[in-house]
Structure 1
Amino acid sequence: MRNITTEERQRLIDDILRANVQGRESLGVSIRRLRVEVTGLDQDTFAAMCRISTKALYQLESDKGNPTIGTLNGILNKFGMRMTLGAIVADAVLPARPAKAEGRFLPRGTSPAMAKRRAAAGATGKPRA
């Protein structure tokens, strides 16, 4: 591990996160920067620490792999982060809010299309397969 202060480490992580959120760096480049600049570890050591193969880490850092969210979270957790969804607005990240809380979705089975299906099913009340 690199010998840097907690403040320097957090500043590095924030800079890497900001570059990724703003689209200046891909996820793979950001993960590579976290590994190299924050920890100073080589790929073999870091991959073992994250319980993935060196090849998987190489592919991820090269933006060639297709990692699972679990794999990404396993790596990002080492830096106090996790994968999440957020809206990108003018160089800022806003956490995604559930659409249901904003009332954009109708309760299941109450859409106009469902009303037509129920009417077409007739008085039997049996749903169509």
Structure 2
Amino acid sequence: MGVEMSTPNYEQRKQIIDDIMQGHASGRETLGTSIRRLRLEVTGFDQATFAAMCNLSVKALYQLETDRGNPTLGTIEAILRKFGLRLGLVAGIPASSVSLREPSPDVARPVRGANPRRKHKGGERRSAD
């Protein structure tokens, strides 16, 4: 006999969501894994039901949950909003170790749109004919 899962009450849902948020913020879980956990642990919905609720195809939801998709920010926001969450910034490293000072002038800075001459095999440059 299988174990039947009951729908979590408000306090249980809040605890589950907090746990998922902490897992994601700490880097233990990817965004896709977090969304999958929200779907399963908070709603208990299968992919087809949840995808329809979010106006997504089942394939798009599957790709998102397995970190293979390339969803828009609007799609992610729409999913997270259903759980009272928003997409935001999470520190990857402690803020105290981040340096925002200007690089020293002797460091070469790449210029966007510049077309530097590329080195080719053998380290020789091709001349413009």
TM-score normalised according to structure 1 size:
0.66
Q: Which runs of 5+ in 1 are unaligned?
A: 94-103, 105-129
User: Identity of paired residues, percent?
Assistant: 58
Mapping 1:1-129, distance limit 5 Å: 3-88=7-92
Cα offsets for 1:58-115 (capped at 9, x unmatched): 000010001110000010001001111243566xx9xxxxxxxxxx9xxxxxxxxxxx
Name the CA distance, whole Å, in 2 between partners of 1:88 and 1:42. 32
- In the TM superposition, residue 3 of structure 1 has moved relative to its aligned partner by 2.0
Name the CA distance, whole Å, in 2 between partners of 1:37 and 1:78. 14
Name the CA distance, whole Å, in 2 between partners of 1:44 and 1:78. 16
- In the TM superposition, residue 45 of structure 1 has moved relative to its aligned partner by 0.3
Structure 1 residues 86, 20: CA separation in 2 closer, same or farther (over 3 Å shift)?
closer
Name the CA distance, whole Å, in 2 between partners of 1:78 and 1:50. 9
Large movers: runs of 4+ above 2 Å: 86-90
Tell me, what secondary structure is at the counterpart of 1:14?
helix
Name the CA distance, whole Å, in 1 between partners of 2:7 and 2:37. 16
Name the CA distance, whole Å, in 2 between partners of 1:28 and 1:51. 17
Name the CA distance, whole Å, in 2 between partners of 1:26 and 1:3. 24
Name the CA distance, whole Å, in 2 between partners of 1:47 and 1:30. 15
Higher share in helix: 1
TM-score normalised according to structure 2 size:
0.66
For the Cα contact (< 8 Å) 2:54–2:78, is it kept in 1? yes
RMSD of equivalent CA atoms: 2.3
Aligned residue pair count: 93
Structure 1 counterpart of 2:70, which letter?
N
Q: Which runs of 5+ in 2 are unaligned?
A: 1-5, 96-100, 102-129
